[in-house]
Structure 1
Amino acid sequence: MMAHLAIADLTHRPELFVFLEAVVFAAFYVRATIGFGSGLISVALLSLSFPVKEVVPVVLLLDLLGSILLGAYDFREMHWRELTWLIPGSLVGLAIGALVLAHTHAQRLTLFLGIFILAYVVYAIVAKPERMPRIARAWALPLGVFGGIVGSLYGGGGPPLVAYLQMRHLDKRAFRATFQAIALTDNIVRGGLYIGFGLLTWPLTVVFAAMAPAAALGLYLGNHLHMRINQRMFLRATLALLTAVGVKYLV
């Protein structure tokens, strides 16, 4: 594959276009099903062939689309009090992560993230996700900061935010809805930061436009599955995805 994400690659290499469409569709199918994961999945797979600094801005725009669509669909299910400290913490973390992304190699920082994710998964399995203790709302601030940093570096701040929302014992619909509110705020702020740092360019925006239909289809079909699965299956699906992401970052 070519070394850069550009519209020329899509028009001259059909297999590249199919690969990108398949990754985006799968990522956003998962996003609609369990509420998060599109950024982490997309960046994890696409960064195997393309530079992280080009993949992340494209995925940001796709995630913004996903946040708007799912957020509008789930608007009445959002738990606004959970956002009191999560959003301010996320904004601080986003600024820190954008600076790091602009001035260093994000791949060097994946080891700590992988350890954190897998440690949480082990804890959740031992404690059983539906029986985990309910943590205080004060944890929203540090986990929000951590989530913001992860979001800037890897295209999705899911793991720390998932840990917080799971341990606040939100049901699946409220979990997905509340996560979209955080994600939407993060996406908008990250977009401004990426433009300011010169990370989001017109050619990458064109790539986003080409990938948007696949993302929308994934969201539509994934939402049907979300409405059918029960709470226990939902919790286990989130842990399974976190495990895969954690292993990927360690490897």
Structure 2
Amino acid sequence: MNLHASLSYVTLAHSPLLWTIAGVIVLLAFYVRAVIGFGSGLISVALLTLIFPIKEVVPVVLLLDLLGSVLLGAYDFRKMHWPELRWLIPGSIVGLAIGSFILADTNAQNLTRFLGVFILAYVVYALAMKPERLPRISLPWGTPLGIFGGVVGSLYGGGGPPIVAYLQMRHLDKRAFRATFQGIALTDNILRGFMYIALALLTWQLAVGFLMLIPPVLLGLWAGNRLHMRINQRTFLLATLALLTVVGLKYLI
């Protein structure tokens, strides 16, 4: 990592190379986000931290994800499934609080391995059953899986996998899946944003740096949405499981 690299406005404005590298990473991340509805945080953080300090990457990616959630959520607003959100959001809020205490008092490494095992076990199960034939679970499952997602979000910056599993087993079509996921992601991003501000992790220099990365976010979302509209439901489900596999291996290793 370049020790002088920074995601602040001052560095990006005076280093076209760093701005270009960061922009390409962000474009790729939000292309994936638009195609399957999640994953931008994982990709952005994993790649940006190879160059920039993680304490700067996480707050900036939070702002980028917040923008992505707002834009995709507004675009797909009419496709959101509110019954699922009514069970997921309260559970997620509880989970975020629990995760904060765990992070403060516990070594999260063992929990990381558990999460990796959980994700990979779900992927194997979904592939064995065939994604489109997964059993349909009832709405109340949204509360425990929302709590699990909230804990994961608090510890690792994104509670996607448990929420993805829930929405897949609610058998939402690809557009409804993407729309509903943005609702829970938006809640998570707002709550974590307040936490980062309180901890002074989100500074005005980083906030202005975030503004410089908005163009690649918009381009990635636009291009990814074009593919999202073209792929069929089975391809969408398999792409979702492929990204979950990458996430599971990352947490396990």
Question: TM-score of the superposition, structure 1-length normalised?
Answer: 0.92
Residues 38 and 156, structure 1, Cα contact 8 Å, conserved in 2? no
Deviation at 1:57, TM superposition (A): 1.2
Unaligned ranges ≥5, structure 1: none
Name the counterpart of 2:26.
24
Q: SS in structure 2 opposite 1:134? A: coil
Q: Distance in 1 between matches of 2:7 and 2:103?
A: 17
Distance in 2 between residues matched to 1:80 and 1:218, nearest whole Å: 27
Pick aligned residue for 1:56 from 47, 55, 58: 58
CA deviations over 1:98-151 (Å, ceiling 9, x no partner): 455678886675322222211111111111110011112222112111212222
Q: Of the candidates 221, 226, 248, which is equivalent to residue 250 of structure 2?
A: 248
| Residue pair 1:98, 1:190 contacting (<8 A) in 2 also | no
Q: 2:124 aligns with which of 100, 122, 125?
A: 122
Counterparts of 2:133 and 2:177, CA distance in 1: 16
Contact 1:101/1:153, CA 8 A, preserved across alignment: yes
Q: Give ranges in structure 2 of 5+ residues lacking alignment.
A: none
1:79 aligned partner: 81
- Partner SS state of residue 200, structure 1: coil
TM superposition shift of 1:75: 0.6
- Comparing 239-248 and 99-108, the one that deviates more: 99-108
Q: 2: distance between equivalents of 1:79 and 1:2?
A: 44
User: Given the superposition, is the C-alpha separation of residues 37 and 137 from structure 1 closer, same or farther in structure 2, using an over 3 Å criterion?
Assistant: same
Partner residue in 2 for 1:203:
205
Amino acid at match of 1:195: I
Per the alignment, residue 226 of structure 1 pairs with: 228
Q: In structure 2, what is the equivalent of residue 178 of structure 1?
A: 180
Tell me how far apart the structure 2 counterparts of residues 17 and 104 of structure 1 sit (CA, whole Å).
36
Question: Which among 138, 150, 154 is matched to residue 152 of structure 1?
Answer: 154
Give the aligned CA root-mean-square deviation in angstroms: 2.1
* CA–CA separation in structure 1 for the residues paired with 2:80 and 2:213: 28
Asked if the contact 1:43–1:154 (Cα under 8 Å) also holds between the matched residues in 2, the reply is no
1:83 counterpart letter in structure 2: L
* Contact 2:66/2:189 (<8 A) preserved: yes
Identity %: 71
Residue type at the aligned position of 2:81: H
Amino acid at match of 1:2: N
Which residue matches 1:88? Answer: 90
CA–CA distance in structure 2, aligned partners of residues 97 and 241 of structure 1: 23
Partner of 2:2: 2
**Post-superposition offset of 1:20:** 1.1
1:66 to 35, 56, 68: 68
Q: Describe the superposition over 1:56-77 as per-residue Cα deviations: whole angstroms up to 9, x where unpaired.
A: 2111100110111111111111
Distance 1:150 1:49, change over 3 A: farther
Query: 2: CA distance between counterparts of 1:105 and 1:28?
Result: 31
- The corresponding residue for 1:140 is 142
